[in-house]
Amino acid sequence: MDYKEYFIIPAEPEEVFAALTFKPTIELWTGAPAVFEKKPNSEFSLWDESIVGKNVLFVEGKEIRQEWYFGENHSSPVTIKLHPHKKGTSLEVSQINIPEDAFADITDGWKNIYARSLIEFYQE
């Protein structure tokens, strides 16, 4: 199953990109240990291994591509694009090939955990 949504983050795209790719900042806005290197083909984990996968591509200040893992034989490509917006950044999330049994949890997680945590990080 596929998912696409836009979230408004109250910070400039360069700041949001840094928050998504710099391990100490990731740990600040997620409030959990992370394993992360801004390097293609590096494995990562967020929220204490709730999300695990591989980084595929970084376009500085604009785009991040990842593969999220579901079990041993299933991956789900994720693309995060950052667009300038009058209120900061429009964060465009696109995730494809989500397992049907995980779809509700993934979409809820994007809205109520991932995006909300980023928004609240910049509102503090």
Is the pLDDT reported for residue 73 higher than 90?
no
| CA dist., res. 35 & res. 79, Å (int) | 19
Count of residues in the chain: 124
Q: What is the DSSP string of 109-122?
A: HIIIIIIHHHHHHH
* pTM, to two decimals: 0.96
Q: Which CATH code fits 3-123?
A: 3.30.530.20
What average pLDDT does the structure give for the chain?
Answer: 96
Confidence (pLDDT) at 5: 98
The residue among 38, 8, 7 whose CA lies nearest residue 23 is: 38
pLDDT tens-digit profile of 79-119? 999 999 999 999 999 999 999 999 999 999 999 999 999 99
